[in-house]
Structure 1
Amino acid sequence: MDSSLSEPLLAKTKLDQASFLSKLTLSWVNPLLKLGSSRALDLEDIPSLVSEDEANVAYQKFSNALESLSREKSSSSMSRNLVILRAMARVYMKENVHWFFDSRRSGMRMRSALMVAVYQKQLKLSSLGRRKHSAGEIVNYIAVDAYRMGEFLWWFHSTWSLSLQLLLSIVVLYVVAGVGAPPGLVPLIMFGLLNVPFAKVLQKCQSEFMVAQDERLRATSEQHENH
């Protein structure tokens, strides 16, 4: 085996040291994939996180932006949720212009920042606050709401890009097939509309599942407190 392959790849695959072309093509991860195809990876082979991707750093940036907005007079009349969204936009909007990879990366940072923020808030809850916010609700904030915020950026880019791809595909199809293109779109539209009620059923089932999970965790926590 090549001795270079057995060396840790921390310096070779660290994202912040990669060039723009390497980031664009994701070639910075190729040495790690090459090593993984030759043997099982050890912990020291895995590149460390860039400091900006660490949960503590993500939370500090979000917390600073939130505190700055809270001090502004223009934000005094806004709801707390809107101020949080503005803080998220201030910290992560710029880097989301690099589309899929950076949107996934930003989503991970947003999720980490919100998870730490919820945990920090939970430690400061009073007795009254703990009765209003059960353990199940707090778990849902971390496992569901923070996760959805992290996924929002990727779905945002997917929505406009897939719509653009679909439009371009229809244009190409019309240029190639002429008047035969519109009849071919009818089944596509029909099946798309048929998926709507199924999506609503799945959404309803997911909501009911989260409510049941919250009630189960609430009952479990109350049982432990009684004992």
Structure 2
Amino acid sequence: MRNRSLSFALTGALSLTALTAVTAPSAQAAGDTVITGVTVNGGKEIALGPTAPKTFPVQVTAQDNSGIESMNLHVSLPSYLYLASDQGLTCTATSATTTRCSGTWTIDTSSFYGNGPADDPWYVHAYVSANDGDYVSTDRAATFSVRRQAKLTANASPEPVAKDATLTVTGKLTRADWKTHKYAGYSGRSVKLQFRRADTSTYTTVKSVTSGTGGALKTTVKAKYDGYWRWSYGGNTTTSTAKATGDHVDVR
């Protein structure tokens, strides 16, 4: 883990405790209490812009033959942050032995000092106690990523265009910079050019282009059919996926 300064602005009732180190063992248990499932943000990626807060849910399911008495959940970026749920947890017993608890966490990137939170894994911590005194405690109940949000634009010209004439498609790939709190060009990335005919609902990849200086995108194609042109980026470990709004071109 690299040393770096990091600050979070938190909304609602979210609590914040800075950690100098994560010293607890990764897991401790007594008896037959087990965590059977963890879901972060419904299984979808967590993409954060340069300033806007993002709220995401975490759901943990656990079971014990005596039933679950209570659960305590946190998320963390190890060595820096240890965050409790915004409004506490909502827990529901789904059977005599199984309980599911859910909470929400809000992160506001307006007070980030850099892009470090996208470089390292985040973790769900869980402490589960059963009615018979059994328990399980782990700081690695699940691992997830917080990614820098990417954006794409697209413009196809000329409009309208003659059939079989050359169409130029341009655009720009940017991503959130949590140090400057703005979107910045993202160069050197493979971005797909996609087309959807006006009478269909599915985009098809036509070619791939590498983003240039400042995230600039440009290529040419032959105009065949009326339809929509867009750019699509698949994302990576630090940066989210992105799709531009399709630009309609009338072919005459």
Measured against the shorter chain, the TM-score band is: under 0.3
> Higher strand proportion, which one?
2
TM-score normalised by structure 1 residue count: 0.26
- Structure number with higher relative contact order (C-alpha < 8 Å, ≥ 6 residues apart): 2
> Higher helix proportion, which one?
1
TM-score normalised by structure 2 residue count: 0.24
